[in-house]
Structure 1
């Protein structure tokens, strides 16, 4: 859209930007919050962008971070636009009106994509619905994959997370000029974005930069450093270079992306394997984020909205026919799930008893979902009763087999169900009335900290959004989650398998990865 003299202009610390008026709100896209992370700044912490003279056009999305494309299987369901260019540390702002006196609540959005894909340019994340309803929406690009989360002896860890922290500082310093209130910032994300939110809640360096947080289908966590190092070493072996940031910085960007995709080919939420992720670094992430939030006093005053979809695992297992493959593998798949979840046969027997009609793939999927998402989010809510609100998204996609899968709630939260990219997951005919109530709940939480249902307490209230009116169910997952702590101290995981058993289960997982042949998300 071409700019004209009636379009809004806002002055930021580095210079003025000209946005656009669209759908009754003001939109500013591609505003740099840090300098391009390439050349001498590659694999280095973010630094402020260079100031500019005149008025910078902010009518189009800025460059996206380097990333490999989704496999053909997942690209049918997930949109991931690519905008070329080096200036990828940028953000977008949707606001009802850029009036410094408005003091409106602010929602800062961190996209998902396993920390290897995704961007703020995904149409599902269009912020006009939030701006229409009185919330300033900011969406952020950050470094991905080996550029953002590689672990090297000669570079800082968690560069993508450091980018997000730099963006939060920018928002805190600049958002008033766009009509936002720097004292009413909510940090939100889904999947890898929610994992990032959890790390920032727990980080002492992010204190005071936001007031509330939303974690959608992603818990606070830190990956084992050796798991990330294995990814880097795999890439280094394929590239025939040392596993150092200096060596990787000299590699052609496209070759680096192809190598990254190949090295992570058989990883994924269900199968595990080497991956990129947030690690404890003694600085930005001084300790495991979940432990810090459960046991310490990290961000005790932050209100939390968090939850999951009923059938998270179906996005990981249905594309490519892996669901049927897992069902055929039967005991092999169950052994792999035990290895992935570090649990014993008693957990599998318990799930079988609670879900007598379920197939192997459903049992495996629910076990992995509970292990990765519901257990840690329950622990977090238990540690913060009275200020935590928990939901479950249970509306099933119109597309065969997907159910209420991972990521399906996004088009409803943003009220962007009319976008073709939302229909990739939801299918045709998604109910607008569900979008109305879910989006309104998020707006209420961002505005005053109460999404409209009972906060977490000993009865474990969970707000269920599915077919029909939203309703509260108490302890809907308690029976399954109790299986994991049987015989363990309160709040602790069950004991890990002994050495020989663990080795056997790891071998089973490796076999399952080879048999599946499906690229992970």
Structure 2
């Protein structure tokens, strides 16, 4: 029987060729219309910078936060940041990490350590800081995707928003500790350590943007959720944040050293190198690196408990964070929640229909026509002899659901939901700060192309909602339906609700909003879930029958 890790790995592998930036986040750049904006200048610890003030928000785009990571710094911690004289313009996006071209963004580059800041004002106030790590697994994405523009959060909820570019793929997660010597310790987690450098930058500089360095929330979606899971467990990150939210990317477990070494062995063989000649990796052009990287599977946000794949399967497992015992000492939430963040509140959750995104991405137009025999065939490839019990449980819990509905429900909860529940359980068992569990449930009417099946609440749809980027048009302007969110006006309220809950958590460590139901912390007595929609509701012990079944067959807490 395949493990959940293998299931997600399969989905990731088949998705990689389709997960292009312009598809995943189909938006243009967002740094504003300079013709109707005013310049704003401030000074950080490396020099003066000039951004744009537009419609009540000051925006600084493309600020360097750490030094060189190319040449002899490849696979190592960044070089020292150099100060500059004069005023540096920071109102246009800078290079994202090495990957394929991104719509509306500069050409990706190896030296990619830039961040973006949105603030209501550079006025010395102490606003909460919301520090976001982008999605795209561990191989694509940037802090410059327009769906995650922080302007509305800053303007409407009086917070400061920060997003980084950081190393990805082979350049961010190539484990060389065992072949390259002491200078390369932590090499398997350079992408995470870049984010830590961004957090350090916030600690030293955010006060000049009206932010409070002692009230920082880290959050992220999909791969960004997995990165947030890791940061929650990293000693280097611990001093620089106070709370976290893990969204559709439950990083319960990450790659082991054996799995990461397997990737390294594969890469060296592909380039005709050995452990003794590894240093030639420093001179290989990035386009050649991308060619080899494309042969490696897409790493899912978390791994199953199988920790030694090498004997049974010599193929690489994909690039992602490594439990190296140093930068990432342990699996983030296995077997327990990280003690280092015991006193830091946590939110965790997922979208109700995560898997419709992957059906859209794979151009699967057949699943809506499934009958129950076809459903059994599809699920058997993942769940084997447990398939009849799974179908029976879901038919009982969802008596009006079609086979396609059950397929989406099963795939969504096994891909993302079970890991999210596992994190909530582990955090609760720790007995420290509270944990809050959510489901995002606003239903989009947008159909999967080639079908009459609605997207519902797909993976990644929450991004524009929690950033409050689903807002009514200005007077005299037409309403433009969003790519996933659709065109129903109810989406504006759902977006407001989600953004209000997230910013409340950023401010106080409690996601409480006056006009919404009181969201209790997750506990054994209530197992409370906030269902986020245009009308929010608290659901106690949600998915009780399903979770009992997943536990019985060993898929929850596997």
What SS does structure 2 have at the residue aligned with 1:199? helix
For residue 321 of structure 2, what is the aligned residue in structure 1? 278
Of 305, 312, 315, the match for 2:347: 305
Query: Contact 2:223/2:301 (CA < 8 Å) preserved in 1?
Result: no
What SS does structure 1 have at the residue aligned with 2:293? helix
For residue 408 of structure 2, what is the aligned residue in structure 1? 362
The C-alpha deviation readout for 1:69-105, integer Å capped at 9, x for no partner, is 69xxxxxxxx7844444441010111111123x1111
For residue 25 of structure 2, what is the aligned residue in structure 1? none
For residue 506 of structure 1, what is the aligned residue in structure 2? none
Alignment of 1:92-491 (within 5 A): 92-100=116-124, 102-132=125-155, 133-152=157-176, 153-154=179-180, 155=184, 156-220=187-251, 221-242=253-274, 246-264=279-297, 274-291=317-334, 293-294=336-337, 297-322=339-364, 324=366, 330-331=375-376, 333-338=378-383, 346-347=389-390, 350-351=393-394, 353-355=396-398, 357-359=401-403, 361-362=407-408, 364-369=410-415, 373-383=419-429, 387-400=434-447, 401-417=454-470, 423-429=482-488, 431-452=491-512, 453-458=519-524, 459-466=526-533, 468-486=534-552
With over 3 angstroms needed to count, the CA separation of the structure-2 counterparts of 1:157 and 1:268, relative to structure 1, is: closer
Of 78, 88, 99, the match for 1:46: 78
What SS does structure 2 have at the residue aligned with 1:112? coil
What are structure 1's unaligned runs of at least 5 residues? 71-78, 495-521
Task: Give the deviation of 1:407 after TM superposition.
Answer: 0.9
Query: Contact 1:333/1:364 (CA < 8 Å) preserved in 2?
Result: no
Instruction: Output the aligned Cα RMSD.
Output: 3.3
Of 65, 76, 93, the match for 1:33: 65
Task: Give the deviation of 1:358 after TM superposition.
Answer: 4.5
The 10-residue stretch of structure 1 (278-287 or 8-17) with the greater mean CA deviation from structure 2: 8-17
The 10-residue stretch of structure 1 (158-167 or 446-455) with the greater mean CA deviation from structure 2: 446-455
For residue 14 of structure 1, what is the aligned residue in structure 2? 46
In the alignment, the residues of structure 1 paired with residue 294 and residue 101 of structure 2 have an alpha-carbon distance, to the nearest angstrom, of 9
What SS does structure 2 have at the residue aligned with 1:321? coil
In the alignment, the residues of structure 2 paired with residue 461 and residue 423 of structure 1 have an alpha-carbon distance, to the nearest angstrom, of 30
With over 3 angstroms needed to count, the CA separation of the structure-2 counterparts of 1:190 and 1:487, relative to structure 1, is: closer
What are structure 2's unaligned runs of at least 5 residues? 1-32, 305-315, 448-453, 474-478, 513-518
The 10-residue stretch of structure 1 (43-52 or 169-178) with the greater mean CA deviation from structure 2: 43-52
Query: Contact 2:189/2:322 (CA < 8 Å) preserved in 1?
Result: yes
Of 109, 112, 116, the match for 1:88: 112
Task: Give the deviation of 1:359 after TM superposition.
Answer: 2.4
In the alignment, the residues of structure 2 paired with residue 242 and residue 125 of structure 1 have an alpha-carbon distance, to the nearest angstrom, of 42
User: How high is the TM-score relative to the length of structure 1?
Assistant: 0.82
What SS does structure 1 have at the residue aligned with 2:144? coil
Number of aligned positions between the proteins: 478
Task: Give the deviation of 1:482 after TM superposition.
Answer: 1.8
In the alignment, the residues of structure 2 paired with residue 226 and residue 80 of structure 1 have an alpha-carbon distance, to the nearest angstrom, of 39
What SS does structure 1 have at the residue aligned with 2:117? strand
The C-alpha deviation readout for 1:237-294, integer Å capped at 9, x for no partner, is 44444477633332221222133224337x7689998222111011111111112752
In the alignment, the residues of structure 2 paired with residue 472 and residue 18 of structure 1 have an alpha-carbon distance, to the nearest angstrom, of 45
The C-alpha deviation readout for 1:19-63, integer Å capped at 9, x for no partner, is 110121111111111113111111111233211111111011111
